[in-house]
Amino acid sequence: MELVKNFTQSKLIKNLFIALIGSILLAISAKIKIPFYPVPMTMQTLVVLLIGITFGWKLGIATVALYLIEGIIGLPVFSGTPEKGIGLTYFFGPTFGYLIGFLVAVFFAGKFNYNNNLIKNFLKLIFATSFIYILGMLWLGGLIGWEKPIFKLGAQPFLLAEFFKILLATFAINYIKKIKKIF
């Protein structure tokens, strides 16, 4: 019984450490601004997908939830913080839907089974990523009003960069699978 207890505790500590490292990577990815057309891109959505693919859906959700909690309590982990505010004020601002979409995206990215079919893998990652934008635009529309061009404001400027990041994640899948076999 003691052996099972020790194994469970060590697995919990290992998973907490992995989630902490993942949340740090997500925070770093939020701060990286890469010049891109028509708007600069951060690497958050790429890292969300990679966390799901690498960690699986359970640990992926825990990692993204930890990241969100870090931001809610006031750590400047979100893109645009601390310049645009911190904590609950920022969290419930215009990006709230997108941030919640991270949870759904990491779930699907972690839940899917990936194979060597690049097109199927690409489509799975598009599906996962779409929830970031769907929830983001739903929140944004409710916040600023549906008479505004929500798609043009909340998704269109990011689609080219998103396509690029999903391609990167798609091509990384086979490398991630090889690395996961080592652990």
Dihedral of the alpha carbons of 61, 172, 37, 67, in degrees to the nearest 10: 20
For the question of whether the overall pTM of this predicted structure is more than 0.75, the answer is yes
The backbone region for 32, taken as left when phi is positive above 0, alpha when psi lies in -120 to 50, beta otherwise, is beta
Tokens of 21: 């490292």
The full set of domain ranges for the chain reads 2-182
CATH architecture of 2-182: Orthogonal Bundle (1.10)
Quote the CA–CA distance of 33 and 13 in Å, as a whole number. 32
Measure the CA–CA gap between 70 and 24, rounded to whole angstroms.
10
Q: What is the tens place of the pLDDT at every residue in 32-75?
A: 988 877 677 899 999 999 999 999 999 999 999 999 999 999 99
Which residue, among 90, 70, 81, has the nearest Cα to 24 in the 3D structure? 70
DSSP assignment string, 28-52:
HHHH--B--SSS-B-SHHHHHHHHH
pLDDT digit string, tens, across residues 134-181: 999 999 999 999 999 999 999 999 999 999 999 999 999 999 988 887
